[in-house]
Amino acid sequence: QGDGDSAYITFELRSEANVVSVGFHSRTMGSSAQIYFYQVEVGDFVTDCRLPDANRSYTCIVGDRIGSRVKFQAIRTSGGNVGASDISINGCLSDEIITRPSAPPSPPPTYVLPPTYVPTVSCDRDEKAVITSRCTVDSDCLVKVRSHLPFCPETGLPLCSCYASSSRDPFDECEGQDGDLCREVKCANSCENLKAVCYQPNESSFPRCEVQYSSDSELNSIAEYQQVYDETLPVAN
């Protein structure tokens, strides 16, 4: 229903289901009717997905989400009579009572978009650099929620996720892609109960900022750090 960025479609399943992923193949009419970003809503869970092109269907992982209603909402399009060539909802239906997860549902992000947006670039989704935040002491480090994401991200850090940044070597969330190629969202505080510390894994590596649980428990051990990058990958920033 609807056109352009206001278009959406809703599927009512015959019973509750564990939905793990969806597939979406955007239609296109050349200069119009193509979807670049969309939101998928499963029950109370909402996440956003990207479509690099209209050549084939792309899978978007939503985790193990429970619901009987799945909604697809266009976010960024080239306008006009947008639609899908193919949509798939992947998971399993169940007629039994399903125990819902104890974690609270993720709030939907609020997008601040430019008036018009028609990407003219292509992205290589297979090459993902990682963030490194150098430090010398704990006070150099801080936790941040990623609220900006470029159209062609070079890092694998998801939007609205918590990461460790450095006041000495801050991470550019737009990754140099300013203007229409970098979108901004309002996120929930995913850094709650987390803190950033300066940590050196071994003598041959440099100290870097990492995310750690802030509660006074055994979760404070080095083994429970939430890793923000892998030294075997190329490094951005």
Q: For position 74, what pLDDT does the model report?
A: 93
Q: For position 227, what pLDDT does the model report?
A: 36
Q: For position 10, what pLDDT does the model report?
A: 93
Q: For position 179, what pLDDT does the model report?
A: 66
Please provide residue 126's backbone torsions phi and psi, each rounded to the nearest 5 degrees. Answer: -85, -20
Q: For position 25, what pLDDT does the model report?
A: 94
Half-sphere exposure of 98 (CA within 13 A, CB side): 17
Q: Which helix (H) or strand (E) holds 60?
A: strand 58-77
In 3D space, the residue among 39, 26, 37 whose CA is nearest the CA of residue 82 turns out to be 26
Q: For position 37, what pLDDT does the model report?
A: 94
SS3 state at 52: coil
Q: For position 212, what pLDDT does the model report?
A: 85
Q: For position 219, what pLDDT does the model report?
A: 41
pTM over 0.85: no
Tokens representing residue 203 in the block: 């003598």
Give 49's contacts (C-beta < 8 A, 6+ positions apart): 22, 24, 37, 38, 39, 40, 58, 60
Which stretches of the chain drop beneath a pLDDT of 70?
A: 94-130, 132, 179-180, 215-237
Cα distances (angstroms) measured from residue 227 to each of 32, 48, 196, 206, 234: 41, 23, 11, 15, 15
Dihedral, CA of residue 70, residue 46, residue 81 and residue 11, to nearest 10: 0
